[in-house]
Structure 1
Amino acid sequence: MPKPISRILLVNDEKLVLKALVKGLNAAARQLDNPLGTAFSGVETAEQALAAISEDGDIQAVVIDDQLHRMGEAGKARGKKMPMSALELIHAIHEMRPEVDVYVLIAQQDEDEVVNTLLCEAVDGYFYRDDPDYLGWYRILSTQLLERAHTPFYDKLKQYVFMAKDAWHTPGHSSGDSLRGSPWAEDFYDFMGEHIFKGDLSCSVPMLDSLLHPTGIIEEAQQMAAKAFGAKRTFFATNGTSTANKVILQTLLAPGDKLLLDRNCHKSVHHGVVISGALPVYLDSSTNLEYGLFGPVPKAVIFKTIAENTDATAMILTSCTYDGLRYDLKPIIDAAHQHGIKVIIDEAWYGHGRFHPEFRPTALEAGADFATQSTHKVMSAFSQASMIHVNSPDFDEHVFRENYNMHTSTSPQYSMIASLDVARRQMSMEGYKLLSRTLALAGELKELINSTGVFRVLELDDLLPEEVKQDGVRLDPTKITVDISESGYTVDDLQKLLFERFNIQIEKSTFNTITLLLTIGTTKSKVSRLYDALMRISRETRAPRRLYRTPAIPHFTSLRYLPRDAFYCAGELTPLLDEADQVNQKLAGRVSADQIVPYPPGIPVLVPGQVITPDIVSYLVNLLRSQKQVELHGVVFDGWLPCIRVLTDADTASLRPLDGAE
């Protein structure tokens, strides 16, 4: 197992003093226990410090001499351009890498004045310049790093497993005993590994705390996650971000409360609308027809909708999108907050954003009240492991907890909780380093793909629909969208070729693009293998073929009834095709009882309570007949005949139409 490396940077503009500090602290590190591989180095200026912190992801803490603060401020008071002060350096470090611990060297006689100033700057501690107790300083610095690297739940889970207690409780496999020696199941035990079963425990083990009512190690792990991700409170979710979104919506919304939501949000948000009984106000996303992509909702549309619905309770947006497009969130959040509208940001694809300046600001940093993140998508957590981050100033924990417990299993997977704990530790201790590597690999991969002359990585300007090009939208460079239209392959054929011949599985596709997801687990060898595959394919020099464009999703029509009311009606299945195998025109004007979602991309064409138009029926039929394979969630096949559930006359007679509904 590789040993960790932890570097602590000293900043002091007196060369001899700096040399003595570095020498003394390194001697202390050699003399005392050093489990994290702590070593000290020094620089003389704030500018050098920032350069070192930017280049070296192993720097975990910085100790700054307060004299930088005094010299800088005194010089500026006289109107002179001076080096960056200690206070400015502290701000710059927090802006660049907020996870790095910051300490200050001060004179003992100035303690009251300096400490009062620095405590407001989230400084982790201070030492007396004139009393260099190297052993004491090292112990303090090392202890702080150990606390940040601590994984309370994972450590306790390991401890319990190694106790080897006899299990007289659930789960039924009893630490794997039911599988070992079984001719029918032992191969599963061998494949999964011993510890996956020994760590699969239940709420019958008090020392492992309770996810539904945490008061011990799970609560401690959540508090550490909150600090790492920049939240006031953080809650672990073992049912994925789908459940996290539903929990928040059900917490904030009562039946009839108004919710503003982008139509291209995850289907879990639309499910949350049904569960909460909210009145949704849908914002049509921008669309890029050339590549079959969905972009953000235009800022002008968001601002106009907020102004027209100042009585809304909440707004939820997705940032970044599946394709990596990020809103300029701060002005949007500010506009909502002016009217007391709570803002939820689905950051399922953007949980890593806090740990590298390339990706910031995050939703919480931009002022969001809630953010949900799929920790498993881009970090080292197990699938379904997610987090809910809360920064709302009037957060009602009791109401939230009641809704959280309503959706959370009373038998959560403890390995999943441990993976969240470990994912937080990894991002806190080496997230910057890993993301720097991922960004470098993304840049390299982009150049390699473009060098094939056949495949082309789409730039931000290519991806953005025209109506959002002036909205300050940014692109997450770890999501790479590749135009394949010159390759001579259809997307389905290319995906099959990559999978069967080159052992490569991609993230998603449209009719003429494939999307590659780079994470902290992406390696140089994977980049090389992908490039080799695409280069070999490009050398086949196939003539470009016509790619049939996926039909454009129709704009949202109108909502006649609350989605919850429509969903809970009995309804009836009605075919999309008539007796002549043509589009069933009788569906026009009917009201959908279900959510109909083409996947990919997962944007509902219909939601419960929405009026069906001929364009929508034609769109669904065209998708069914499309060359591109698309799942249609919500479409039911009666034999070979595709049907959707719509309201009957009896249903509509029992429902109250929404105000202004047609």
Structure 2
Amino acid sequence: MGLELKMPDLGNLSESVQPLECRVALVSADRTLAGDWVNALNTTAAQHENPYGVRFEAVTPAGVEHLLREEDRLQALIVDGGSDAQGLAAAEALADLIHGLRSELNIFLITHGAFAGAAPQSTGSIATLRQRFDELFDRREGNFNHMFRLVQAFIARRASTPFADTLKEYVFSARDAWHTPGHSGGDSLRNSPWVGDFYRFMGEHVFNTDLSVSVQVLDSLLEPHSVIQEAQDLAAQAFGAQHTFFLTNGTSTANKVVIQQILGGGGKIIVDQACHKSVHHAIVMNRCEPVYLKSVLHPEFGIYGPVRRSDIEAALDEHSDARLLVITSCTYDGLRYDLRPIIDYAHERGVKVLVDEAWYAHGYFHPELRPTALECGADYVTQSTHKMLSAFSQASMIHVQDPDFDDHRFRENLNMHASTSPQYAMIASLDVARKQMAMEGYGRLKQCLQMVETLRRAVDETGVFRALTREDLIAEPLGGDNIRLDPTKVTIDISASGYSGKEMQIKLFDQYGIQVEKTTYNTITVLVTLGSTESKLLRLIHAFKQLARNPRKRAHVGSPRRLPEFTHFNCLPADAYFAETEELPLMDNGAVAAQDLIGRTSADEIVPYPPGIPVLVPGQEISAQIVQYLQQLLQGQTATEIHGLIFRSDEPLLRVVRETREKKREE
């Protein structure tokens, strides 16, 4: 364990909205021992400094599960292992139950010292006990002062924010800045008649926490050794990783770093066609050979879900030279894979697994949302901490548990992509977001799930709108894949309202001041996060009830456009992207444009949004179906963003690989 028993600076506790209360349960079937120890520990707590409000209570083993599920303020458990092998085995089983339900809690073991030392007689060794329990107490010792201090020290460690505290202390030390950035703590703006309003709008601390890497006390994100490294270690412990790395330029960069770590210089990668564009970019940057897997479309709602497990397994069998499998779980719509059998299948074939958990950073902190990718054995997991937790935009993490992890190479790869001028407020927000989940994540997520149930029930009661269930969202081909749903993403069928998804999005914004997360042609999706409040929920439900009173009659309701079939590659994506190219019109006389484009090789990634899945990637051959699909999107009544097109004088063009003279003569 190697825990340093020192208390962090607790000066910021006075700013808490509510007094802190940390409940610690002593679990024992021996009611006499439990009662005596709890009384002694509470007496000790009353006699010592107790800034966290640590309070002890007794509970029987039979009551532990109820306590874990219902008590949000529970922070630690002391488990009585008795003085024989049977008692120790029961304590180990109980520790596994606790970890399975509340992974963030500290667990301590009371046992007979001589017996614990005779490890072969128990279900495990001392090392095994140390994996399950944070610290061991001898039941004969009875040093309650020491026990109280140790329990408090572990809670304090989890509640610490080493980087955020150091940043705050530095700002309050009011040093004169003769270094970058040029606004010098906001002094360049504060008294300006032209831009002083921006300073006042943003606030003092936005500027005085924006500091230079020359401030050595704040450590280095690119080569951390002190407070940033300590914050990352705490994050690894909180999220269940072996190593965790902070990033201040999003999960886009996180994905590129991991792919470069495994495939820098080239190699074969198996990847979901619907993966984030950063993965496609990394394929180009690292000269990878992609094997794209087709996402399954839900035809009724226009939602692209996961890839069929059988398709993933077939790709792994067919491409024995693949080195990396990339999976997105959960998807933008909250659909997540049954990851363990997929990861096991990949590992049996020597393939590393990267899981993009950009939308699922919260999953480890509530039993209904587990198991997470790390628990299922993923080698690398990337998370957008800012999407669902309390971090600033662009603040992300990479979690690692690759048994072949090369720390030195990874840091070099990370440094190639990370800025040498990181935003310290983002790093602090990662530190604080981790602390919040470690100390109150379970309780906050329990509130979120209660809000979800209230919202879903209220939406269904309108009789016009319908909150889609897991069964509604899983397309028939995925029926046997044990796909799960993250309930914090609530997708609502608005078909009966007579409005399209885009029209409903505008209506909610203009009339009710509500911004939703995403739309399809007949659905809208809202996120229930840690920042959701009862008042926001009330206003959202009110808006749906009002809109349900006056549904609009429409003669024709749209339908989702199915993505065209993915064609083959004429060359590596990198070769196409960096090749000599030409621009060809997409719409000029329709048929003429199609005739010129069919059979050519795309040099760019072309991504219509929605659904945000590329219909072309560099190196891919352009088919008649693809040309027709893009032309239909541009001619449709509903505006569709198409990323990757070039517009010259409002004329859409595609960048394609220039053909050689020899090939033209052959034709």
Q: Same fold (TM over 0.5)?
A: yes
Give the whole-Å Cα distance in 2 for the aligned partners of 1:302 and 1:117: 37
2:25 matched residue in structure 1: 9
Per-residue deviation, 1:555 = 2.0
CA 69–579 in structure 1, closer or farther in 2 if over 3 Å, else same: farther
Give the whole-Å Cα distance in 1 for the aligned partners of 2:404 and 2:613: 32
CA 38–286 in structure 1, closer or farther in 2 if over 3 Å, else same: same
Per-residue deviation, 1:47 = 2.4
Matches within 5 A, 1:311-390: 311-390=321-400
CA contact (8 A) 1:587 1:617 kept: yes
1:609 matched residue in structure 2: 619
Per-residue deviation, 1:69 = 7.1
1:65 matched residue in structure 2: 80
1:660 matched residue in structure 2: none
CA contact (8 A) 1:569 1:651 kept: no
2:117 matched residue in structure 1: 112
Give the whole-Å Cα distance in 1 for the aligned partners of 2:249 and 2:127: 44
Give the whole-Å Cα distance in 1 for the aligned partners of 2:116 and 2:312: 50
2:104 matched residue in structure 1: 99
1:266 counterpart = 2:271 = no
Give the whole-Å Cα distance in 2 for the aligned partners of 1:618 and 1:255: 36
Farther off after superposition, 561-570 or 546-555 = 546-555
1:517 counterpart = 2:527 = yes
CA 468–133 in structure 1, closer or farther in 2 if over 3 Å, else same: same
CA contact (8 A) 1:593 1:609 kept: yes
CA contact (8 A) 1:69 1:85 kept: no
Quick one: which of 545, 560, 568 aligns to 1:550? 560
Farther off after superposition, 541-550 or 386-395 = 541-550
* Secondary structure of 1:63's aligned partner: strand
Question: For residue 428 of structure 2, what is the amino acid of its counterpart?
Answer: A
1:418 counterpart = 2:434 = no
Fraction of identical pairs, as percent: 49
Give the whole-Å Cα distance in 1 for the aligned partners of 2:223 and 2:128: 36
1:193-241 Cα distance to aligned partner (Å, 9 max, x none): 1111111001010111111111111111111111111111111011100
Question: For residue 180 of structure 2, what is the amino acid of its counterpart?
Answer: T
CA contact (8 A) 1:65 1:105 kept: yes
1:607-630 Cα distance to aligned partner (Å, 9 max, x none): 000000011011111122233332
Question: For residue 288 of structure 2, what is the amino acid of its counterpart?
Answer: A
Quick one: which of 442, 458, 476 aligns to 2:468? 458
CA contact (8 A) 1:571 1:645 kept: yes
Question: For residue 429 of structure 2, what is the amino acid of its counterpart?
Answer: S
Farther off after superposition, 118-127 or 490-499 = 118-127
* Secondary structure of 1:313's aligned partner: strand
Matches within 5 A, 1:480-629: 480-543=490-553, 546-579=556-589, 584-629=594-639
Give the whole-Å Cα distance in 1 for the aligned partners of 2:611 and 2:365: 28
Matches within 5 A, 1:122-201: 122-201=132-211
2:298 matched residue in structure 1: 288
CA contact (8 A) 1:25 1:138 kept: yes
Give the whole-Å Cα distance in 1 for the aligned partners of 2:661 and 2:34: 79
Quick one: which of 25, 34, 58 aligns to 2:41? 25
CA 68–355 in structure 1, closer or farther in 2 if over 3 Å, else same: farther
Per-residue deviation, 1:472 = 0.8
Per-residue deviation, 1:32 = 1.0
Q: TM-score, normalised by structure 2?
A: 0.94
CA contact (8 A) 1:592 1:610 kept: yes
Aligned-CA RMSD value: 1.8
Give the whole-Å Cα distance in 1 for the aligned partners of 2:661 and 2:39: 81
CA contact (8 A) 2:210 2:424 kept: yes
Per-residue deviation, 1:466 = 1.2
Give the whole-Å Cα distance in 2 for the aligned partners of 1:256 and 1:245: 16
1:384-411 Cα distance to aligned partner (Å, 9 max, x none): 0000011100111222111111110000
Per-residue deviation, 1:583 = 5.8
1:34 matched residue in structure 2: 50
1:657 matched residue in structure 2: none
Give the whole-Å Cα distance in 2 for the aligned partners of 1:43 and 1:650: 79
Give the whole-Å Cα distance in 2 for the aligned partners of 1:153 and 1:233: 17
1:48 matched residue in structure 2: 63
CA contact (8 A) 1:485 1:544 kept: no
Per-residue deviation, 1:118 = 5.2
* Secondary structure of 1:644's aligned partner: strand
2:11 matched residue in structure 1: none
Aligned length: 643
CA 263–109 in structure 1, closer or farther in 2 if over 3 Å, else same: same
* Secondary structure of 1:486's aligned partner: helix
Per-residue deviation, 1:600 = 2.7
Unaligned runs of 5+ in 1: 74-83, 655-662
CA 603–70 in structure 1, closer or farther in 2 if over 3 Å, else same: same
CA 149–496 in structure 1, closer or farther in 2 if over 3 Å, else same: same
Question: For residue 537 of structure 1, what is the amino acid of its counterpart?
Answer: L
CA contact (8 A) 2:102 2:366 kept: yes
Farther off after superposition, 422-431 or 27-36 = 27-36
Question: For residue 426 of structure 1, what is the amino acid of its counterpart?
Answer: Q
CA contact (8 A) 1:69 1:87 kept: no
CA contact (8 A) 2:83 2:112 kept: no
CA 292–583 in structure 1, closer or farther in 2 if over 3 Å, else same: farther
2:255 matched residue in structure 1: 245
CA contact (8 A) 1:9 1:40 kept: yes
Give the whole-Å Cα distance in 1 for the aligned partners of 2:129 and 2:29: 23
* Secondary structure of 1:351's aligned partner: coil
Quick one: which of 392, 407, 412 aligns to 1:402? 412
CA 623–582 in structure 1, closer or farther in 2 if over 3 Å, else same: farther
Per-residue deviation, 1:24 = 1.6
Question: For residue 505 of structure 2, what is the amino acid of its counterpart?
Answer: Q
